[in-house]
Structures are given as C-alpha cells and as structure tokens.
Amino acid sequence: MAGSERRRPRATASATKGPTIEDLFLRFTLFNQRGRGFQSKAGPPAGPGSENMLVFQPMGQLGIRQRNPKWTHQVTFALDVISAASPDGLDAVSSASRYNEAGELDVTTTYASETRGEWSMRYGLHFEEPFRSGFAGLGWVGRYFEDNTTVAVNTTYILDLFDYIHPLGFSPVQVEKRLTISDNVGVTQVLSPTTLLSASYGVTFQAGTLQTTWNSVAISDAPTTGCPNDFGQAPEYDCPNRAPERLPRTRTRHAAALMLNQHIPRTRSTIKLAYRFYDDDFDLRAHTPGVMLYQWLGRRTYLRAMYRYHWQRGVSFYGVATRTDASDEMPLTADSDLAPFSAHQVGLKAVVYLVPPGSVRGAQYLDGGYSRYQRSNDLHVDVVSLGYGRDF
C-alpha cells in the first residue's frame, strides 16, 4: 500500500482479466505562507516585500494494471490553486501575480520483465500562467540477492517554456526556455529483518533562462520619489528603482541522500533517520538531516512525528540591493530562496486504517496531518493535509 514505489508488480496475476485498478490515492493539502523577501516588490521601495501566499492543492493517483499483467501505469494529477502566487511580480499583463492555477499530469508506464528488471517510461505536462512544461524520462529497477538489494536508475528531461515578464510589469512577446536533464541512481538494501538502508545520488544539469524574470533587486542609489510604500499588490506599481534578477545560463547540481529505517517490534515503533547533502556551481551548499518516529496504537492506527532541519549557504551572487553602476553582466539575485538561511519543520500525522494492512480486501486508510515550516529569513508555512489511500 504505502510506499508503492518499493512494491513489486504482481506479474503473476491472471492474464485473462481486463485492465484493473490496483490502488488509489487522494490528497488535499493547504499551504498558508507568510513572509517577506527582498525579491518582492510588494512592500517598501528598498524591500523586503510580501511573500504571503495561500495554496489549495488537490491531488490524485491511480495505479492501473493492463490485461497483460507485466504492464502497469501510474497516473498522477495535481492541481494548485494559488492566491497571491507571485507577489514579486505585480505584473500588469497577466493575473499570475494575484491568482493562479497550476495543473500537472504525470504518468509512469512500467514493464516488469521476468529476468531483466522493471523498465519504466515517465512522461507528463505541467501548465500554469505564464508557464508550460513537458517532461519525459526512462527508468530501470533491478532486484538482487533474493530481493534484498534493489538498484534503481533513471533519467528525466524537462523542457520549460514561459513568457518573459519584466519586474515593471510589461511583457514583450518573448518566450523563454529552460532545459533540465536529471540523472539519478538509488540503492535500497535490507540489512536485517527490521532494518532497511537506502542511498541515492542525483546530478541535474540546467541550461537556458534560469531566473524568474519578474524577480527584481532594489537599486540602492536610485531615486525612490513616487515609489509608494505599498504592501498591497497595486498593479500600477512601477517604481523604477528595481533591476531584474540575473542568473547564469547554466547550473549543475549534485545531491546525495541516505535514509535508515529501523523497526522496533517490541514497542511496534519505527524510526527513520535521513540526511541529504547538496552542492551546485552557484556555490550553494546544503545539509538536510531529518528524523521520523512512528508509533502504532492498536491494529488500525499509527501516529507519526517528524522533524527536518535544512541549512544552506546562499548562492555567491545573493544580495539585497545593487547599484546603478553595477555591471549588467554580473549575476545578481535577491531571491530569499537562494539566500543563506536555516529552516526547521515539525509535523504530526495520524493514519487510521479502515481496512487494516494484510487484509484480503486490500488496505484502506485515512490520514490527517499538520506541519510548520519555519525559515530563519522571515518566512513560514503552515501545512494541513488530508489523505485517503486504498489497495484494490
């Protein structure tokens, strides 16, 4: 049920049946973000401006097995309904800065070979104003030593197309492009009847327009006469004291992660320890440890508590302001996401099984959780999530 990525497809199912639904997941998540960042214009002329945002995110995922049981499809759809999506922009030519919807369809088709592992193809589309994206990739999973060792490899290509929107709100007819190529390898190893270890590494190369074109940086020596101290989102806000964000045209990113899962049968508890290391050629480096504790309460219910810490050194060209005599060739950003900061996240979740795991009817559960994400540079997010899952 849960953790369906690890589950081996049931290739021995009857070949005479038609396509069948294997599992279903539904989730609704609410993000309430409050904060301020120097890339945002929704504030005093020299910043920082508002990054307040509310996101409603319904999602669903369906697992389908074809008549030939070696073929399966995992179809995921996600919708983001966002208010104040990009207060950084305050663009006059689209409504993306005030209200936006994003939709995504993500399909993974897998063929389970008897002897050569599982081969998969991932493809999909993502739409949001003013942004279109398509992606496709290939993956392979091999299992060894009586399924004690699982090796997974995948590569994904993503092409993003988006309209250029200047921080002052105008938008020439100009489509920007960004290509992302990501290669990943992961290994999962059973260490004992109660211990599981997984390790993964990924390298991602990006080329094209990497900046968010409506992000801006305050010009410290520019005149601010006529610039209103407007915390709202007035579309006529066209104060000329801000320069567009500029990022290099390429970026190479490395990330490696480890996770150790330990079950304690005596107390029916599980502890997961995770760590991720990240480094890229923007000089951004990050360390992200985390821990999750699970406790069963009876046969149908468990609680999960989580804590995650993230520390990052900002990109080398981060700054809260620039000057009029600064070179147009130098990269420059005031984006709070690329700044040096640390973040804490704590959360609690309860999972209640309507049909317990191991039942011949197929497990079925409801869950509800809350978490708080708090960044050291004046931003926090409250997350409320409700989910439903079912095996058929």
Partner 1 sequence: MNSRPMARSDAKVVVALVFALGTLGCVVVPQNRREYLADPTMQLQDDPLEARSNRKLWTAREGAAGGDAKPAGGGCGCSN
CA 243 vs CA 220, 254, 321: distances in Å: 10, 30, 9
- Closest separation in Å from C-beta 60 to partner 1: 8
- β-strand partners of 230: none
- Closest separation in Å from C-beta 157 to partner 1: 9
Of 217 and 255, which CB lies nearer to partner 1 in the complex structure?
Answer: 255
**Measured between alpha carbons, how far is 104 from 91 in angstroms, rounded to an integer?**
24
- Closest separation in Å from C-beta 83 to partner 1: 15
Q: Is the peptide bond before 45 cis (omega within 30 degrees of 0)?
A: no
Of 15 and 79, which CB lies nearer to partner 1 in the complex structure?
Answer: 79
Of 101 and 238, which CB lies nearer to partner 1 in the complex structure?
Answer: 101
Of 224 and 341, which CB lies nearer to partner 1 in the complex structure?
Answer: 341
Within 10 Å of residue 297's Cβ, how many Cβ atoms? 11
Q: Where are the alpha helices (DSSP H) in 129-201?
A: none
- Closest separation in Å from C-beta 81 to partner 1: 13
CA 374 vs CA 31, 272, 309: distances in Å: 13, 22, 10
Of 227 and 310, which CB lies nearer to partner 1 in the complex structure?
Answer: 310
Burial class (CB in 10 A: 0-12, 13-18, 19+), 322: buried
- Closest separation in Å from C-beta 221 to partner 1: 25
Give residue 38's identity as a one-letter amino acid code. F
Query: Two tokens at 80?
Result: 């983001």
**Measured between alpha carbons, how far is 232 from 228 in angstroms, rounded to an integer?**
10
